[in-house]
Amino acid sequence: MFFLLGMAITFQSLGQNEKINVGPYVFETIISNDVNAVQNQGRTGTCWSFSSLSFFESELLRKGKGKYELSEMFVVWNSYKDKSEKYVRMNGALNYGAGGAFHDVVNVLRDYGMVPESVYGGLNYGFDSHNHGEMDEVLKGMVDGVIKNKSKRLTTAWPHAIESTLNAYLGEIPQEFEYLGKKYTPKSYANEMGLNPDDYIELSSFTHHPYYKPFILEVPDNWAWGQVYNLPLDEMMDAIETSLENGYTLAWASDVSEPYFMFKKGLAIVPSKPWDKLTKEEKDDFGTTVVDEMKITPEVRQREFDDYRTTDDHGMHIVGLAKDQNGKKFFIVKNSWGTERNDQDGYFYASWEYVKYKTTDVMVNKNSLPKPLLKKLNL
């Protein structure tokens, strides 16, 4: 077992039967899989990169490769380049911004490789922490200008202008680097990591597409038109739990805009009835007592998605499973908002019903799934 230092110890060192108090809840850890320390994405929309790489780092720990700290900004640089090219090709009829999806990171790993965080930190603009507000606006203005230019023809210069801007803010991508006394390219470093991009798939559950088939998830940040495999809701939840039981973790995309996503309190739980049906007193007291949660059905979940009340807000990392004092299951979730915004060192507990309700998709190693399910998916 690879023992970690830093904030990862908070959950990594917990044994079964050890109790953790979070507000009115008392949690007992059932599963706690290997993780690196919590990171901070700062003032950026790059949760998809942080959560995916946290997941990949856990994959490397699980495989006995040791502790890798991978560069989120290497992924952002390459993804922004690809997104810019597609946005211009689509005449601007595509979502363009800081957001992304888990498969963007898989695509970067496959197409460009990977580098360590210490080799490429992406802080090339005079700040000590990540802040992409200016860069995002500059890049958006550039690609819009390319599309709207009055000559109605594109030069060969604009892709270089995008790359130069990314270089100015994040730094030039290393073509070759030395790490721990050995020379690498991004591709050779990725090869040494030994992660197979084809092992990683995304799962979801919606009723507007056939089950056991892949479909392009209709959320704005899916600019690359990546596909997810559609499962019945209970089977998606079973797949998440089975992956954890088999020693794997998962990258988790979810809506976090709801008032009952309470990161500061270390909890994400579902009220017993729709939030707008609660009284002011019930809303004010929410989270101070153990909640009898609403039971989530495929129909309830679908309605939230169809009405834009479930949105693709945030990417996180599910690393374990716990149960509360009443035996209800909660997922242990690693966030990328640093360690000082709640009392759980940057982690929180998401109830089974919350994950069932608000998940947009999860990325898993397909080898973590039961063989009968893989057969249904033709994998």
Residues marked active site are found at 47, 314, 335
Determine contact, residues 19/27, Cβ cutoff 8 Å.
yes
**Closest to 223 measured CA to CA, from 41, 40, 44, 48:** 48
CA distance 28 to 259: 25
CA distance 59 to 366: 12
* DSSP secondary structure of 25-80: EEEEEEEE-------B--BSS-HHHHHHHHHHHHHHHHTT-----B-HHHHHHHHH
Three state DSSP letters for 227-269? EEEECCHHHHHHHHHHHHHCCCCEEEEECCCCCCEEHHHCEEC
CA distance 178 to 184: 6
Partners of residue 321 on adjacent β-strands: 31, 331
Task: Report how far Cα 203 is from the mean position of its chain's Cα atoms.
Answer: 13
Report the length, in residues, of the chain.
379
Provide the 3-class DSSP secondary structure of residue 200: strand
Task: Report how far Cα 25 is from the mean position of its chain's Cα atoms.
Answer: 26
Element (H, E) at 347: strand 347-351
Provide the 3-class DSSP secondary structure of residue 151: coil
Pairing of strands 25-32, 19-22: antiparallel
3-state helix vs strand vs coil in the chain, percent to 5: 35, 20, 45
Backbone angles phi, psi at 65, to 5 degrees: -85, -10
